[in-house]
Copies of this chain bind each other. A is one copy, B any other.
Amino acid sequence: MTEAQAKLIAAAEQVLGAKGVITDPREIAPWVSDWRGRVHGASPAILAPASTDEVAAIVRLAAEHRVPLVPQGGNTGMAAGATPAADGSGIVLSLRRMNRIRAISADSRLAVAEAGVVLETLHRAADDIGMRFPLTLGARGSCTIGGLASTNAGGTQVLKFGTMRALVAGVEAVLPDGSVHSGLTGLKKDNRGYSLDQLLIGAEGTLGVVAAVALRLVPAVAGRAVAWAGVESPMRALDLLRFLEARTGSVEGFELVPEDSLQLVLKHVPGTRAPLSSTRPWHVLIEATTAQPGTDVAAELEGLLGAALDQGIIADAVLAASEVQAEAFWKIRDSISEAERVEGQTLAHDISVAVGDMPRFLVEAAAAVEQRFPGVIASGFGHLGDGNIHFHVRAASHAAPDWYEREGAAITRFVDDLVTAAGGSISAEHGIGQLKLAEFERLAPPGRLHALRAIKQALDPLGIMNPGKLVP
């Protein structure tokens, strides 16, 4: 611990009390590695303010002592954006004690949640008033609202409702100079200068600490239908999406699953079974919902899938006959990463291209990777409707245990080059954090890097807000 850190921690104890300063290494340990266990950092303490004023006080102290802060929510990020540096130069600022839902209203269709509110908690609170917060993802039991906003999180319902950027109605944040940006008034229209709210969304804590967020709610789901369809190719999957979108506004989930991924799930995840009796090279999981009671969304989806079958767009389809079966379909989709991990070493890429380009990109990129790195298996699954695929490259069965370390970087560079050449993004929804920093620097246009660095330097001239993340 440096002298400056010791001074900051001592001063923080005055502000936060004993409950707000954790120094026991055993209590710190779970929070200084990323959840995938790939990046290990160090922090001499965890500071845990319980109010926005306390956050502001800590930020001012950090500025005074020139000690970097690493804001952290549920520590479920995919790019190690909330993991402190290995040299222990930073201090983790945990928002988990800020876990109040300050307000929630069906009339205004808004909730104001502090940064440390767990997503699932917000889901339940919205349910309780007959409303819904539509963003969801696998980590919903751990991830927090502040982290979701700071990483502009996506998930499985983006098709209809957008990412966090579309769902945030306002942000309360402590800026690096210790001033509080108060954007929680819930104004639907406000054109007073640059949108600091939008700048803070996706900034990964590098421009300030998100302390609370106003979130848009939508009407509760009155009817839901889940279906599984078999298709001959990703192109046909996209055809199905266009077919449905032209005829209904109810599709909110549209997830692509290759046969290969399905087989891995069936092999490694107990209790799963194939939705279709026939074997098809590609599959689509479709979720349709309606907020209007009396609308039979299942009948509508069944009718549309029947028409798609007649037109030869899909090869086979089945509608989940019950909530249990619907959950079983989703379990297959949500278990792909887990099944792959059991099978062997996997290299994950969270990429996007324009929606209409993804089917062809996916097929061609997988072929190119498999040709360039013989023995590997490349495939993609996920949010086809958003042009966002989790493009995974699995080691050959005979690969060495250090395949990931030895080959990973070269394969990732190859994939990222393909994505960049296609006008796509090397980080669709997981962010840059630490893990993608070098690739981002390698591939971003110089003008863009210059602009990001200028903004960072302008708002955080002392470099105390999550340095070494997001901005190369």
- Chain A positions within 8 Å of B, measured between CB atoms, are 105, 107-109, 151-152, 154, 158, 163, 165-166, 175, 177, 179-182, 185-196, 198-199, 201-203, 207, 219, 242, 245-246, 248-249, 291-292, 352-356, 383, 386-388, 423-432, 440, 444-448, 450-452, 454-455, 457-459, 470-471
Contact = CB atoms under 8 A, between A and B. Distances in A.
Interface residue SS majority, chain A: loop
A451 to B, nearest CB: 6
Given A181-B447, A194-B202, A429 B352 contact: no
A188 B386 contact: yes
Contacts of A166: 166
Contacts of A447: 175, 177, 179-181
Number of copies: 2
Nearest to A383: B189
Contacts of A246: 219
Contacts of A248: 292
Contacts of A179: 445-448, 450-451
Contact of A191 (B195, B356, B429, B457): B429
Given A179-B450, A196-B448, A450-B177, A427 B352 contact: no
A41 B228 CA distance: 63
Contact of A431 (B180, B191, B207): B191
Contacts of A444: 192-193
Given A179-B445, A452-B194, A108 B354 contact: yes
Contacts of A151: 191
Given A189-B387, A193-B471, 10 more contacts: A158-B188, A163-B189, A166-B166, A175-B447, A191-B431, A193-B202, A219-B246, A219-B249, A454-B458, A455-B458
Nearest to A242: B107
Contacts of A195: 165, 198-199, 201-202
B425 A187 contact: yes
A457 B458 contact: yes
Nearest to A470: B193
Contact of A192 (B188, B207, B440): B440
A179 B109 CA distance: 41
Given A165-B198, A448-B196, A353 B249 contact: no
Contacts of A356: 105, 107-108
B193 A452 contact: yes
